[in-house]
Structures are given as structure tokens and as C-alpha cells.
Structure 1
Amino acid sequence: MNDTEHTEPSHTTLIRRSWERCREFGLDHTSLPYLQTLSSGDLNNLMGEHRYLVQTTSNEVLPYYDNILSNSQCLILLTDSRGHLLNSWGDPRFLDTPHKQYFQQGVNWLEQYHGTNAIGTALATGQAVQIQRDEHFLKANRFMTGSASPIYNAHRDLLGVLDVSSDTYLPQAHTLGMVKLMAQSIENRLIINTFGDENFLLTFNTHLNTIDSPWSGLLVLNEDGVIISANRRAGLLLGQEITLAHISSIFDCPLQALKHHPETQPLELRALGKYTMHCLIKRPRKPVTAPADFRQPKPSASKAEGYIPLERISFGDPQVERCIGHARRIMEKDIPILIHGETGVGKEEFVKALHEQSSRNKYPLIAVNCAAIPGELVESELFGYEKGAFTGASSKGAIGLIRKAHKGTLFLDEIGEMPLKVQARLLRVLQERKVTPLGSTDSYAVDIKLISATNRSLREDVAAGQFRQDLYYRVSGLNLELPPLRHRTDRAALFREIHRLYRTPEQPEHLPGEILALFAQHPWPGNIRQLVSVIKIALALADDEPIQSWHLPDDFFADIRSQLSPDAKLVPPEQTAPPLHPNHSPIEVAHTAEARMHSAGTAGQPFIHNPKPTATPPEKPKDRTLDVYQQMQGNISRTARELGISRNTLYKRLRELGVK
């Protein structure tokens, strides 16, 4: 059990490399620290983003160290992962007046602005560090000594840095160890607050008297005993990666015994067959109604709902392939994307796939349907509002959808439906990269990737005065046209893919050729959205049997017939009249054949026939269900096997035949 996951450079090497970086930044020892600050709006945005980290540090960690810190002349600093100072606590008396401006909220402490310093160097290296007086690259900073430790979240993402700085001549022997302990305490509290309501928490250490220490390992178990999160210390104590392992593979204790062990009573367990650990179990604070799965594969923190990879959106259609190629190259650039296409062609799925495969996938994709929000509410929904900004406004105010998309992707669907008044405000946001909520004078910086979509011609709307020309040129950086389903050359593969996505494991793996042929001749006015609906209905009606034409909805055939000339109609020729399908009862066929089966021929093509009297259709074959059922003496399994159908289908057919 090593105390480091990898070999870290020596302190001397760490300082030397930091000084080399400082020189690369163009600094020398006589350079003055650069006061890199944020505007009031950006600062408000920063504090809102990290409010939970600041509150956890202030309310749940620092009080435990108050007796130590109150007797030392030091200042505790908390920054985000980009070096911005979020808050400070403690005694600033060691700071001279010129120095105090550098210890205000929003000031950036990266090495490029302050040279080698505890905060900036901890961020640059990802490890705890103490910077003594003469180790600061800038002579102007040699009045202090800083000790800093990175803070990571449950998914090993860097959240920020905790630093303790004081007069350079005060004793510093134990400061770095205390800072590391405090940072570990913050990490533990963040894990407990995130997972403790609905999951089991297991604390363990090598000695009984240190089991309550922040240096103990902490595991989060779901109801099934799977380790869904752990602190860094747990991995160090056990010497291996443990996330998503089952608890029984780590400790020699049955899951049920562990879950029902008294919370206040320590237990001694064998870990990995070689270590003795002292453990405490804590049950969920709230009843577990369903096992929560917080597994989040790297690098994405969360996947967009219904996310389909880009590779599964195209199956060889040249136009779709071109859209994907262009969009991939532009997604990482500061260039907006405008997607054109009929309703239902899959614009939102396309955007989801782009977002998930971009560098912004750790942050939200906010999709806004501009046509679905009432005109009088669009402004407040998009830009947010202060409390009391208008009659009916929430007493807490609202952040707005644009700010929710900060660092992520904002998708404005049907942007052509946006009211002109709102278009003017959106244009200002895109120009200034700042949002001013309704009823507020403060502006908030936003970093978004803008993707818009429309099923209309925005150029024509501009000519008609219905869409601002200046906004059109702001949103239409890269124009893409997603083709309608009827024009796609990869339709057959797309039919199979949609079927694969929605079928259950019990249902047949492939679509019958007859159905594929019917799909190929369909005009699909509703595009992929209609295709999904048709397949879902057919699968529901077919149960676990192959999809047949009578499983397709009535309007599916109406769409096909609408393409034919007025004097032509679809009729089943005598040789292709649908026989009684072995998996459907006479009642089912009698109900559906006449209404639906006039659309399919031997090759799945419609039969065009001039109106004239048709021959009487042949008599339908007799259903064998009752005969076989009686031969098998009422044995359901043997009857179903003989007929080649499932037990569920047999039960359904027997009920329709009056057999209870």
C-alpha cells in the first residue's frame, strides 16, 4: 500500500520546472505580479458556479480546524481549477496594503500572472506543494510562504486548490500536511453529500483509532453492492482501482451482513486477502427506492438522453456524411452552425451526437424549441430574470437557459419562430458574449457553442422582414442541410438500425423483406420521426413474432396510396392474397386483411390496377390451432412448439377462439 499512485518529481525538480515555465511566460525575477481580475458579472457567474464548493469548505470543513487556525497568522484561500480566487478566511494582517489587492475574489493566481506560487504551481502540477520565501520566482512575492493542495471531485476531475499562506518568517513545519488533510476533508464531504442520501458509505483504515480520520478510505456502495464512487485515499490504501468493483471482491464479508451491521460498531475485515482493515458502515440517509447508478465514463460527465453516436446516424448517404464531416471540424471552432431540414429529419439527434463527441461534453446541452415557448415568455426563459422582475416572476428569480448552457452547447431549434423583439436581445448576447437577466443591471459572461436549426428558409424570412438580417449572419456560420428520409441513399440500413434500436431481445433480429420493400416505397412525409413511430407500433403489435404488413398502422398505407394516380388503387392480386398467418387468429386476419392488405404484392410493390370488378378472393385456409391443441391434450408448450409460435401468442389465439 503506497502513499502515491505514481512517482512524483522531487521538490527541487518541481521548483526548477516551474521557474522554467515562468521564463517561457516572459517573466523575470523583477517582474511585478499581474492583477488579472474579473468583471462584476463574470465574478457573479464564477461564484454561482462554485457556490457548493465554497459552502462545503466554509460550513463543513473549516470549523473542524478553527482552533488551529485561530492561533496562527495565516490566510486560507480557495480557488477554482483555473486559478480564480473564490474566497478567503483567516488573518490578513501580514499583508501590506499594496499586496491586499491580489487577495480579492476573482483575482487569478496562475503562474503566468504570479510566477511560481503555491496555488499556481499546484494547479500546474496537480500535486500538493509548499513554496518557501526564495522559491517564489517573483521577488515581489517573497514576503510569504504558501502551502497548497489540489481538490478533486468523485470522478477525479480537478475542482480547485486550497491554500494556506502566511508571513514567510513564521514556522511552516506542519502547514503542508494540514492543507493536504483539509483538502482531503473537502473531497470526502463532497462525496458524502453527493451520494449519502441513497447509498451505503463504507469508511475503512488500517488502525481502529484512525477510522474517523479524513485519511480513511471512503467507498460508496449502491443497493447491489457495486462501488460507484470512492475517495482517492481508498485507492491508495488498497493499491488498486476499485470503482465499479463489487464489494465482495474487495472485502471478505457477505453484502447482506455488511448492510445490516450496526452503524456505530466497527468491524474488522480482510481486504484483497492480505490486508486487515477496520471499517464502519453507514446506511442511506433516505430510503432507497431504486438503485442509483452514478457511473460516469470518462471523459463525459453525463450523456445526453437518447444519445446516438455520429457513426450510427449515417450509413453511407453522401450528403449526411458531408454534414458530419463539416460539423466535426467546425464544432471546436468559434463558428455557429445552422442546420436546415424538414421536420423530423433528426436535427436534434444530430446535435446531441455532435455535442457528446466534442470537448464540451462535460457541460450541458441545452435544447430550446423556440416555437414551443409562448412569445411572451421567450425572453424570461432564455435570458433569465431577477426576483420580482415582472408580475408572476418566481421569488427566487431564474438563471435562464442561455446561462445554463455556459461552457456547453446551446441548441435553438426552429429559430425562425423567435419573435423579433427577442431576436434583438439574442443578437446582443452573441455579440457581447454576456447575458443581462430581465430586471437586472448586471451582466454575466457566457461561453457557449451555438447551434440553430430551422425547417424554413431564413433568407426568405429576412426578405419578408420576419427575421433580422444581422442575426441571420450571426447564426449561419456553417450551413448544413440534412436530407429528408425519402432522398437518403442509405434508407435500407437506416430502417434496420431503427428496428435494432427499438426491438426487445425476444423479438426477431431482422425485418422481413416484405416490410423493407414497403418501407422503401413509402414517401415518409414525417421523415425519421414517422419511421420511429411506425416501427414502435409494429413491434408492439407483433409481440415477439416477425413484423407483418397487418402490424403497420392504417395511415402508413394511406401515405403510399396518396402517391398513386386518382384512377389507380392498390389491390392484392389473386396469387398474393395474404394467407392466414400461422401466428395470428382468424379474428385478427378478418379484422385487418381487408383494411390493410391492399398495399403489398409479392415483391412488396403496389399493384396498380384500373377499376373493374375483381375476382372473388380464394377461401382462407382453416386455422389448425384447436386441432393441434386437442391432439396435444391441452399441453400449451407442446402445442406452441408444433404450431411454431410463442406461448403468449398461443394464449392470445385460444382466448379469441373461446378457449379459457
Structure 2
Amino acid sequence: MSSLPLAEIRRRFFDGGELPENSVPTPILHSWRRCLGLGLPAGRLRLPDRLDAPGLQHRQQDNADWLQLARPAIDALFDSVVDDGHVVIVADRHGVILDQMGHPAFLDRAERVALLPGMDWREDVRGTNAIGTALVLGGPVRVRGGEHYLERNRQLSCTAGAILSPQGALLGALDVSGLPRKLGDAQQQQVQAAVRHIEQRLFDDQARSLFELRFAPDVATLSTPRCGRLGFDEDGVLRAANRAALAALQLDWSLLGQTRFAGLSGQSLEHWLSRHGDNTASLRHGGQLYSARLLQPRPQAARQGSAVLPEKSSPASRNRDHVLPDGLLERARRLLEADIPVLVLGETGVGKERFVQALHAASSRRQQPLVAVNCAAIPEGLIEAELFGYEEGAFTGARKQGARGRLREADGGILFLDEIGDMPASLQARLLRVLQERTVVPLGGGNGQKVDIRIVAATHRQLEQEVSAGRFRADLYYRLGHYPLLLPPLRERGDVAQIAAGLLANHGAAARGITLAPALADFIRHHPWPGNLRQLDNLLKTLLALADDGQQLTVADLPHTLQPAAGAAPAASAAPTLAQLLQQHDGNASAAARALGISRSTFYRRLRQD
């Protein structure tokens, strides 16, 4: 680490100067850059309001399942750190503090910096801090004193770890905070051990219904939290894992649902059990030999008041609050649970499909299928067969065994009718009958089949106008449109740069140390984004694919089709000369350099060449 005082390192960073190598830990520097790119001020900052008591209670209830399992580890962590004057903090996956307990001497200090239940400690709200930064990274982090981005938090030192479900879904964070001189390696190790214990209990809870494969290089560690653990369903499909297993096998969470037991072990579940039972056997993978044991499902009575933990979420859904308007998802969930059709409206590209995926993951039907039908993409002559299925010989070219159809495939789950405004008029009456009777009759006749489905529909069209023009049935519109939900365009969702930062995190930018320069963040804020969220997300994925690890993305990295627009953006205004740009900022070279997204030393070098 650098011998420079942290105060001097901070001054150089905020002045746009070059920092000595290893002057601050890499996760801290990357976090600073993310915060700077968002334009977050390090000085005085208006903090968000604290949740009221009912709001906090609602958050705690939403997290009750995993908190119940985590409580023994949280209490043990508290017992181990309280005598040293520290506090233990539990936050949800959005960074909102759910619980806090600690030494009375430090609780007063914690209150002065709003380290309290009901307060939001996301990184894009509070700057670099252990809770928010751990949630961004999905792993452990320690932030000491002046390493906090906000000046007001320099009196704290914090160490935290993100808690993941056995499907890789972000559940929350566990944190220990205290005085900078008192909090060190010991507390960091204690937090990490507590997180491992919590994740082990979460896995234990789910593994009862799965075939569990435990493996480790040493047979003595098969019963410890450090062994690799994988959970497979009865078809041999990987459904759950712990971090140790994924690291050992060089897998990632995205492979859940795609990897099979036979692909890892070279034999089926049945073959393994017939040969080894629940005894220890050898498992070879990637040239490494492990001791392994396969445990069969262990039925259990459901815990009182428990619910199934969230299914594996895609990276995009982990941070969905960055891209979905506040409150809209919960409103849709309540409609869905009440068996009221959910109608989602919005311009092309606003993220209607992403919204529906998040709704499915948040609903009580998340374990059941989400069946999507794009009414605009299927030829009109085939959409009826696609939806309702058909009997053998129903039409020329029909498959011999017939087809179930998407409505019956969605039985027990959710049917998503995308672009319903483009559904042929001839089919709208049949759909209306299904909504009323919940019975599906396939093409070619046959007995009707009752279906238990929830309906979600989406369109970019103005359905009232379509009804007036006679292209959409009024009775179907009124059946679907009890309470239409409008997804606003990207330009109306607040700070688009914050949404961009969330999308970058979803795509792994934080792990690679890739951040936004302030000028690029400002361009993102002011660009009209006619393609909405889809356009922004595609651009960011492209920039990440072209970027090197540790790179700060600047306006110069944009494709040439956006460069003219970038030149028109306020922060990326193309001044005739750098000298004039310097004059515009009252001679402040640091401010002028930040406007261009370059360091102060680079600005001076270009100024001499200009």
C-alpha cells in the first residue's frame, strides 16, 4: 500500500490527479470511481428519508424466511464483537437496514451517521460503504475510515459480506461497524464465517428436497461449511449450489438449471446410488480428485409461516430496483395474487418483458412455469394452434401426437401475452372465453381442460384507440384492463446514470473494475434514449465487451453514431480549445478535467499540446 496519507490520496482522487499504485484497495478505488461517475458529492449530501415503522415492518416481513434461518449466526456474531464496542447490522438486498444491535457507546455514533434501521445504505445513495459495496460486489468488503466516499462517514470502519441464496439470488448483507482503530482482520473473518454459516443453513433448508452432492479434497471436511455442495432435482438437473462448489468446479450461478449430474460425475443419479449408496466415493473433475458423498432427499414438514426462497435470479433481476419504477412491481404482484389480470403498457424497449420476469420471480408462483407468447411474432394462421394446442389430425401438417398449446403448458403458473394489441381479432373472442371459464378446448375438438393460470399481458399500443378503431374487442380490453400499469420511458425514470450503473453491475462491471467517467454519466443522463431501456442496456453490454479490466469508460468509447449526440450533451460540450474550457470553469483544472472524463495531469498535457 502507498505511504501517502489517506487524506492526500482522497485529495488527489477528487482533483483528478494520478494515484500511486496500490494507494487504496482495488475494490475501494473501483467504488470511488463508480460514485464519482454518478456525480455523487463527497461533501454535504441530502440523505433519503428513514422508513416509517409500518414500512420497516413490511421490509422485515418480506425477509422473514432467510432472517429466521440467519438469526443464530447473527446472534453469535453479536456476542463475539459487542465487548469490543462494535455494532452488528443486517440489511436487505436493497441496502435498507432491517436490524441493528451493538455496544451502547457506539450506537450514539451510529445514530449520528444514520446507521439505523429503515435507512438506505446503497452505494449509489451513500457512496462507498461496506453494506452497499458488498451488495454491488456480491461478496465481502472492508471500508476503513476515510475510505468511505462521503466525508461524514470517515469516523466509521465497517466490514460486510453479501448473503446469497443457494440459487445465487442476493438476499441481503451482514455488517460489523465500529471505530477505525478497533475494527480489523478479526472482525472481517468473523463476518465472513457468519455469512458462510447462514448460507449453509439456507442450503440445508432447501437440500432436504434435493439430491445433495457433497465433495472436498479431504474426506474429513465433507461435514464442514467449507465443502462443496450441489443440489439436484429428481431429473438430475442442478438446482442449488454453494460458493465453494462453484469455485472448485469453475462454474457460475448462470449454469443452474442447465448443468446435469451426469455431466459432472459421468453417471446418472440412479447409477451412482446403485454403486455407492450414501457412502463416500471418488469424483474427478478437471483433473482434480475429490471425496464425494451423495445424499438422498429428506422429506420435512413445512416450517410454520415459511415460504420458498427466491429462485435463481438472473444478474439483471438481482438489481432490478435500478431499472423498475418504485412501487410498480409490488402493485402488479398484488393484482396477480388476487387473480386480476395484469396489463402492462409502455413504449417499445421500456422493459416490459424484464418487468414480467421480475413479477414472476416475486410471486407465489415463482416455482411454476412462466409461459410467454409473442402475439406479434407468430403468424396469424398459427397463433390459435400455438395458444390452444390441437388434437391429432386437426389440420394438414399437424403432429401425429398433437400439441398441448401454451395455455395448458402454463397450467399452475403464469401466461404472458406479449404484444397483445397485435392479437388477431378472430382469436380475441376465444381468449376472452378462456379468461371467463378457465377451460381450454384444443383445435380439432376433444374435451375441454380446466386450467389454473394467471394472466399478464403487455403492449406498446394505445388499446383505447385500438378499441375505438374496431381492431381490439372492447369486452376483452375491459376484462384485461382492470388496472393498467404504465411502465414510463427511460427519460422519465429519474437519474438515468444511476440506472446505467445498476445495469453495469448486473453485467459484472464491478468485478472487472470498470466504471463510468463523469462526462459519460452526464451524457447518459441527457441523451433522449429513443430505444429506451433496451437501447441503453445493449450499449452498455457492448461497451463492456470492448473494455479492458480496470478501464474507466468515457465519451470517447461511444460508437460514432452517438458521438454527435455526445458532443451536444452539456458535460461533453466540445469547446473550441481546452483553454476556453478552463476559462469556463473559472481556471479550475480539476473541474475542467472531470468534465472531459480525464485526469488533471492528462488535461494539462493536452493543454500544452493544444
- Structure 2 length normalisation: TM-score? 0.49
- Structure 1 length normalisation: TM-score? 0.45
Higher relative contact order (CA 8 A, sep 6+): 2
Bigger radius of gyration? 1
